[in-house]
Structure 1
Amino acid sequence: MIRVLLADDDALVRGGLRALLAAEEGIAVVGEASDGHQAVHAAALHRPDVVVMDIRMPLRDGVSATRELMAADPRPRVLVLTTFDLDDVVDDAIVAGADGFLLKRASPEELVAGIRAVADGETVVSPSVARRLFDAHAARTAPDHERSARLTDREADVLRAMAAGQSNTEIAASLHLSVETVKTHVKHVLTKLEVRDRTQAVVWAYRTGFAYRV
């Protein structure tokens, strides 16, 4: 069972998400929060596997709350929902350690798949958010040839697919691999890049320009 905490200052949004997830097998909403302070407190109380986090909330925003949640033990996975695909705070949320980014206009199927993916250790980035990262970093990249040279051609393909927002299942389909093989490649990528998780690997790919070099 994936335990989910909903953090959003809009009660209607929380209600809609709760109703949506109530119909999903293997997912249970264990708590709600209307601001960042409540999110941190509720996460400590309910120990969710995934926090669905709004970025812009009163009193304390989702970026600050995410940063504190990253220090929890065990820490929840954080899936950020934002109205703004061009919002500068997306970068801040990445640095804070969020595990995924979806727009609030994402389909119910995308949201459910995103929750399941981040719960399984994957990184989820909506295509428009990925494009925003591309545009933001394209003109100010700093290549890291030493670490990029460690990757095999297949690992490089997997990393670029991760940066494009693809899940392990989608990567497997596009590269004609098994999901287990993709997971193995992802582990090798994290080790070779010396990063802690998929999100940081994606950040590295954009900041070094690797994500859009062929």
Structure 2
Amino acid sequence: MCRRVILRSFQLSPRPASGFNILDLGGAPYFGRIDSRFNQKSESYSVFGQGTLNVNDSLRVIGSLRYTHTDKEADFASHLVYGPFAIRPISSAVGSLSEGNVDPSATIQYDIAPRIMVYATYGRGSKSGGFVSNSLGTVDETFAFDAEKSRNYEVGLKSTLFDGKVIANVSAYDTKFKDLQVSVYQPEVSQYLTGNAASATSKGIELRSACSCHPISTLPRRGHIRT
């Protein structure tokens, strides 16, 4: 079991050498300054376990389970320090979240020959949600983003050939994401903000090989192709 506590606070205060922010607004100089503040407190707990069942000398079943609980609290505020008007939106936001994620995985391995194994894997993953920390103009409705979830399917073959001088592996994978966390440019505030996409899929075939006139552990030479 592990426990992690994060306390974070910082200020965004642009300060040129002159002490003023000078911008060219249609040929007219602008003198002003906006300060912003972001505070976040985060606590997380995680428990992980894994076990292997040897069905026989050739067949194995491996299972694992991870539980993660996360609590976060955050607040954001910005204000005009000086200047005739604010050239960025002035706003504040407060948010909190509490999440519990269960991520299991299961793998079946079968040795079709002494040094050739085939396998199939299913697994789930998660990434906790959070808060936008660098956005002038953010409000409660846009302050938080949701947790990201994924499901992965993979099948493949791993082999060691010619007395350990050649390794050849191949796998096919299909990963589906829900609420994928992405950073998107928002022109109204001239910044990149983190949010959630509806869904995404990553799939392909991966080939890995290594060969040498000597044992692989001493003089490896690898090739890697992923599509």
Normalising to structure 1: TM-score of the pair? 0.24
Structure with greater helix percent = 1
Q: In terms of Rg, which structure is larger?
A: 2
Normalising to structure 2: TM-score of the pair? 0.23
Structure number with greater CO (CA < 8 Å, separation at least 6) is: 1
